[in-house]
Amino acid sequence: MPDETPPRREPEIVKSEAEWRRQLTPEQFYVTRQDGNERAFTHPYYSEKRPGTYHCVCCGAPLFSSRDKFDPGTGWPSFTQPISRDAIVEREDRALFMRRVDVRCARCNAHLGYVYTDGPGPTGLRYSLNGVALQLRPEVEVR
């Protein structure tokens, strides 16, 4: 992983567990608030082709652009970079006896997925995300 990981900062949006449970579906809560993961190939965003911006399902913060989306064949929506470095926070995760880098929404600390160093150019990164943690806002066509 690159050493440019932004320092950890406190999220702007903090809610109680009960507040998050009321706002989110059980699967969204499990993934974003309990650091869970959806099964591969189960969310339609892994094959989504519409142009737009992917936002945090918890707080609505813009996170990733469809311009940076690619299909690595893993079954999870994947991107080469976030919409901005300030949109996310990365932190080392040593759960399951392996080293991974956890990707979280900087605004509300929602667990989004992981970042790996096996992605295509220009970054060489693969942000492998849970579709249930995202909300696609398609670009509006101008006629």
> Is the pLDDT confidence value at 37 over 60?
yes
Distance CA 73, CA 115 (A): 15
Domain boundaries, the chain: 17-138
Q: N- to C-terminal Cα distance for the chain?
A: 43
86 within 8 A of 94, measured Cβ to Cβ = no
> Is the pLDDT confidence value at 14 over 80?
yes
Residues ≥6 apart with Cβ < 8 Å to 92: 99, 100, 101, 102
What integer is the mean pLDDT of 53-64?
98
What integer is the mean pLDDT of 47-53?
96
What integer is the mean pLDDT of 80-97?
88
Band of the pLDDT at 123, cuts 50, 70, 90? very high
Instruction: State both tokens at 101.
Output: 């880098």
Q: For the ranges 80-84, 88-92, 126-130, which has the lowest average pLDDT?
A: 88-92
> Is the pLDDT confidence value at 26 over 70?
yes
According to CATH, the superfamily of the domain at 17-138 is: Peptide methionine sulfoxide reductase. (2.170.150.20)
Predicted confidence at residue 4, as pLDDT, reads 46
Predicted confidence at residue 96, as pLDDT, reads 64
Distance CA 67, CA 119 (A): 15
